[in-house]
Structures are given as C-alpha cells and as structure tokens.
Structure 1
Amino acid sequence: MTDNRTPLVAGNWKMNGDRSLVEAFTYSLNEQAFEGLDVVVCPPNGYLSMFNSEQFSLGAQDVSHLSNGAHTGDMSTDMVKELGANYVIVGHSERREDHNETNLLVAKKAAKAKQAGLTPIICVGESLSVREAGDVNAFVGEQVAALFAEMSADTLDGVVIAYEPIWAIGTGKTASPEQAQEVHAFIRNTLAEHDAALAQRTRILYGGSVKPDNAKALFGQPDIDGGLIGGASLKTDDFMAICQAAI
C-alpha cells in the first residue's frame, strides 16, 4: 500500500448469511472507527436493506448491465442503490464460471455501475492451469484490456480492481505476498499504458484465502491496496482483524 491510495477491505458473503449475521456485523462494525480505511460489506442482495451502516459501506454482489425490463432474477443499478449499496462486485470468477460471463459482459456491467454512481469492484484472475502454463499476464491482461473497450480512462477513474487467483479462492491456498505483488504490479502497469495517473490512483485489492494471519504481509506490498475477503468475511472477529491489518 502507498499513502496515496486509501486502503479498502470488502467482505463478499457470497450466498451465505442470515439476519443474525447482519445484526452481528452491524453492531461490530459500528463499534469500530477505522481511520484511513474504507470498509465494505457485500451480503446477498436481500439483506442489504437490513443493515444500519454508520462506519462502513454496502455493496451488491452483482448487477445487470441493463436498466430494466423482462430479465427475471436480475437487479438493476437503481434497485441496488435503493437497497443502500454504493459499491458492486462485477466479474467475480464464480459469476464468470457459473453464469458464463465474458470479459465484455463484465466490462458492460462495470460501465453501467459507474454511470449510475456505484463504485464497481471489478474482479480479475487466473485458474491454476493458466498459472502453470505461464500465461497469467496474458490472461489477466485480456480481462483488464476489455474494460478499456467499454470505458475511457476518465470513466474508469474511481473503479476498484480485485485480483483473485481462482486457484486460491476457498481452497485454503494463498498466493505468496510476492506472487500477489507481481500480478498487482502488472495490472497497474497495464493501466499505466492507457493513463499513468489513473494507474496510480486505482486501488487494486487482493482476494484469495485472506486470513488474519496473512493479511498484514499481503497488504504490506506496494501495489496491494486492501482485500476482497470471502470466507473470513463471515466471521466478525476475523474480518475485524483483517481490517486492522489494512490500516
């Protein structure tokens, strides 16, 4: 992390949680004052309006690239904003795999979110087979390049990118701080090819089995600006410890 970018920790609950967890997180987070840190909780959409958020922000886990209409099961940017969200995750690997989301669709969702005044957290990352083949930069580079096909550098200003190596999500495996830093630096350099100032301002998060015992080392890398947290975001004590590690 650098002093120029405010660190951010976002918790992605995925399809987990209940009313009691909402209450526990609301109480715990509102009791904390995280100076110099942005904290975001991304529960299932049905729980967004149940939060009373004072010290943290809310994010949706996905959003449609369309405004409204006959699209059963989808939610528009206006809908998630009405539920209290001001961030939204787009392009998570589970969405890309389970719902066949392409780089282009992810870019369209990010553009729609940004246009609506939401901050998109745009996920990129490679599978184990891609890493073992030595194609990480080419694969992740394509995911980042797709954003510029839909958005200008000015429009991308303010988005958040989350690097999540698919092989480390929910597996207990974690990229070493050096491995993570290498890809984060590559992403920042890719952004710099379009706009150097944009690259320096953009926050790039790491996600992939982040826990209280490895968060400090990961967040201490110069191009890692916080984390997108999965499993540990369902435990208040673990999430609080990770937030403290980012300050």
Structure 2
Amino acid sequence: MNGLETSLAELTALGKKLKDEPIDEADIMICPPSTLIARAHDMLAGTAIALGGQDCHAAESGAHTGDISAEMLADAGADAVIVGHSERRADHGETDALIAEKAAAAHRAGLVAIICVGETEQERRDGITLAIIGKQLEGSLPDDIDAEDTVIAYEPVWAIGTGLTPTPEDVAEVHRFIRGHLTEKLGESGESVRILYGGSVKPSNAAELLAVPDVNGALVGGASLKADDFYGILATYGKNS
C-alpha cells in the first residue's frame, strides 16, 4: 500500500536508467497499487517493463465492493497479478483454497499468477518450514498450471520488511523443495517454472541470493520503491546471468 501519482516519477527514472544501461538478461515487472496501473501502463508503453497487480478477487464481477477482478487488472494494462502474499494471508485470513481460486482467476483473465508461499518465524523455529511450504503449494496451486502462466515466489514471512534474510543455504533448501514439488506435479515442465525469492532483497544482498540454485529472480518489496535501489538489484541480476 505504497504509491501516489507523484511516485510515477520513479518509473520515469527507472525507464531512463534502463534505456541508458539496458539489463537484457532480466525480465522486469513492477506491481504498483491498482490506482496507478492504467497510468503506469501509458507511461511504460514501448519499454521492456511489464506490469502486475498486487491482488485480485476470484470472481469475474459481482457484488464485491472494494475488490478488483483479474479482468479489471488486465483491462487496466496488467500482465500478471500477485496472489497469496503473506500480508494478504495474515491481514485478511486468506486460505490456500482461496489463493488457488485467485490464481485460476488470473489465468482466466490471461494474466500470469505469481503465487506466494512462505513460513513464519515460529514455524521456522519449530523446524516445520518445508511442511508448511508443501501444504501451501498443495493447496494454493490450481491443477492446470504451466511455466507460461504461473510463477512461484518464496517469501519467508519473518524476512519481509525486517532487514533479516535467510542464509543462502536456507534459501537453497526451500527452492530445491519447491522445484521438486513442481516437477512431481508437472513432470519435466516443472523445471521451467520460475521460482522467485522475496524477503528484504536489496542491492547489497541481491548478488548472493540470486546466485542460489533454483532462484530464478526476485520478488522485491521496499527496494522497488526507489528507481536507484531497484535498478541496483537488476544490475546485479544481469551480472549473475
């Protein structure tokens, strides 16, 4: 819940940086609040920056005041939508089943579904991280998914906005587990599904995190609010690629 019209200046700055020093190795997407998607779409026309929404309702339309459908996001210019973010799970009590419905709605509207999973600090302390991730994957993924319409984002809840990050070994363990789940579900095509890491990613730690096996990109939070910080992460990704 960040961003007003004045924030669009950061998009202009990011676009200029990418024009002057392109990062051809990375696919780039920003997910602004829904109030800015249409304006951002117009600003980014002709650039390599894609747009995503931060959430959607499972229904196409109806009596759901204050919600936004996947079709509305697509109509505004979005290419994807995040579903199941830990803050949605915690603040709104969203269940795995609801997240699967939202992901299916994204696919219905022609959007890529970015499905988030992650454990709390207590769950990690209890040693049940993989059990939690497995349960979330089992319940949050629609049956009919593929590498073209679905991305998985691992975001340890305890690392979001705290400045704390898991070790590369911790990240590798979870991403390896997610990859195994995807290949078991999808067969060989599960190897092609992108798995992003999210949780206090910033220019100073991006190189280490993006070098971890099965980390195919980053779901960036606070560092995406400033063009310099976001470009710094993109530049690191380009070097790793």
Which of the residues 139, 147, 156 maps onto 1:157?
Answer: 147
2:86 corresponds to: 93
- For residues 170-221 of structure 1, give each alpha carbon's deviation from its aligned partner in whole angstroms, at most 9, with x where no partner exists: 0110111111111001000011112232321000000000110100110011
Of structures 1 and 2, the one with the larger relative CO (CA 8 A, separation 6+) is 1
Q: Distance in 1 between the 2:170 and 2:115 partners?
A: 20
Which of the residues 204, 213, 219 maps onto 1:213?
Answer: 204
1:140 corresponds to: 133
Structure 1 counterpart SS, 2:116:
strand
1:11 corresponds to: none
Q: Unaligned regions of 5+ residues in structure 1, if any?
A: 1-14
Residues 1:105 and 2:98 aligned together: yes
Residues 1:34 and 2:26 aligned together: no
- For residues 50-105 of structure 1, give each alpha carbon's deviation from its aligned partner in whole angstroms, at most 9, with x where no partner exists: 11111200100000110101001111111111111111000000000111100000
2:6 corresponds to: 20
Residues 1:202 and 2:202 aligned together: no
| Percent identity over paired residues | 46
Structure 2 counterpart SS, 1:50:
helix
Residues 1:121 and 2:114 aligned together: yes
Whether the 8 Å contact between 2:13 and 2:227 is mirrored in structure 1 is no
1:237 corresponds to: 228
Q: Give the AA of the match of 2:175.
A: H
Q: What does residue range 167-186 of structure 1 map to in structure 2 within 5 Å?
A: 167-186=158-177
2:39 corresponds to: 50
Q: Distance in 1 between the 2:14 and 2:132 partners?
A: 39
Q: Distance in 2 between the 1:105 and 1:156 partners?
A: 19
- For residues 9-44 of structure 1, give each alpha carbon's deviation from its aligned partner in whole angstroms, at most 9, with x where no partner exists: xxxxxx112222212213422541221211111111
Which of the residues 150, 157, 167 maps onto 1:166?
Answer: 157
Whether the 8 Å contact between 2:53 and 2:73 is mirrored in structure 1 is yes
Q: Distance in 2 between the 1:73 and 1:211 partners?
A: 32
Q: Distance in 2 between the 1:28 and 1:99 partners?
A: 32
Give the structure with the larger helix fraction: 2
Structure 2 counterpart SS, 1:194:
helix
Q: Unaligned regions of 5+ residues in structure 2, if any?
A: none
Q: Distance in 2 between the 1:224 and 1:49 partners?
A: 30
Q: How much does 1:244 deviate?
A: 1.1
Structure 1: which 4+ aligned runs deviate by more than 3 Å? Answer: none
Q: Distance in 2 between the 1:194 and 1:239 partners?
A: 33
Q: Give the AA of the match of 2:121.
A: L
Q: Distance in 2 between the 1:24 and 1:193 partners?
A: 41
Q: Give the AA of the match of 2:232.
A: A
Whether the 8 Å contact between 2:10 and 2:225 is mirrored in structure 1 is no
Q: Distance in 2 between the 1:40 and 1:20 partners?
A: 19
Q: Distance in 1 between the 2:31 and 2:48 partners?
A: 14
Q: How much does 1:240 deviate?
A: 0.2
1:222 corresponds to: 213
Whether the 8 Å contact between 1:30 and 1:55 is mirrored in structure 2 is no
Residues 1:188 and 2:188 aligned together: no
TM-score, length basis structure 2: 0.92
